[in-house]
């Protein structure tokens, strides 16, 4: 069937998505994500996946209560904003700070430590992409 945007949808289907949703485990002891936090990566490439700020959304504050500026995909040394968090919180059963977010498809399978950070309350925290769920209800991982 014909519809508005059919050609663009066909191009994306052929090329594959530019972004992938991933799960993060974040090294954060005193705060967890809410939503819209920037995901930073130590990469040289510009992926073009983060648009300039649109000005919508609630203001964010750092740990001292000062409002933090909105991010626009800027660089900080060898770090770039490459994605954003959509949701998350503390996983009480697994004892971890967890988040869902979007990153460039080229980075979605990379799990090396030190590649990602998620900014929470104005402070960047180390984050790892979790390819497997942290909870194993059957205990299969323990049994090998």
Tens digits of residue pLDDT in 40-81: 999 998 888 877 666 667 788 888 999 987 655 577 889 999
pLDDT greater at residue 22 or residue 70: 22
Q: Where are the domains of the chain?
A: 16-132
pTM: 0.77
Q: Which residue's structure tokens are 């390819």?
A: 131
pLDDT tens-digit map of 84-101: 999 999 999 899 999 999
Q: How far is CA 86 from the centre of its chain?
A: 7
CATH T-level assignment (fold) for domain 16-132: Elongation Factor Tu (Ef-tu); domain 3 (2.40.30)
Give the alpha-carbon dihedral of 71, 84, 96, 131, to 10 degrees: -150
Measured CA to CA in angstroms, residue 72 lies from 3, 40, 76, 119, 121 at distances of 33, 12, 12, 13, 16
Which DSSP symbol is given to 14?
A: H
Q: How far is CA 63 from the centre of its chain?
A: 20
Q: Name the average pLDDT for the chain.
A: 89
State the pLDDT at residue 114.
97
Q: Tell me the C-alpha distance between 38 and 80, whole Å.
A: 10
């Amino acid at each position: 069937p014909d519809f508005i945007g059919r050609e663009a949808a066909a191009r994306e289907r052929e090329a594959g998505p530019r972004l992938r949703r991933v799960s993060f485990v974040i090294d954060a002891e005193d705060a967890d994500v809410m939503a819209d936090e920037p995901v930073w990566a130590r990469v040289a490439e510009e992926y073009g996946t983060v648009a300039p700020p649109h000005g919508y959304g609630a203001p964010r504050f750092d740990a001292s209560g000062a409002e933090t500026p909105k991010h626009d995909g800027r660089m900080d040394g060898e770090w770039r904003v490459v994605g954003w968090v959509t949701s998350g919180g503390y996983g009480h059963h697994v004892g971890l700070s967890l988040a869902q977010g979007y990153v460039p498809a080229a980075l979605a399978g990379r799990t090396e430590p030190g590649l990602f950070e998620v900014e929470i309350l104005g402070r960047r925290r180390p984050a790892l992409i979790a390819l497997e769920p942290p909870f194993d209800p059957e205990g299969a991982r323990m049994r090998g």
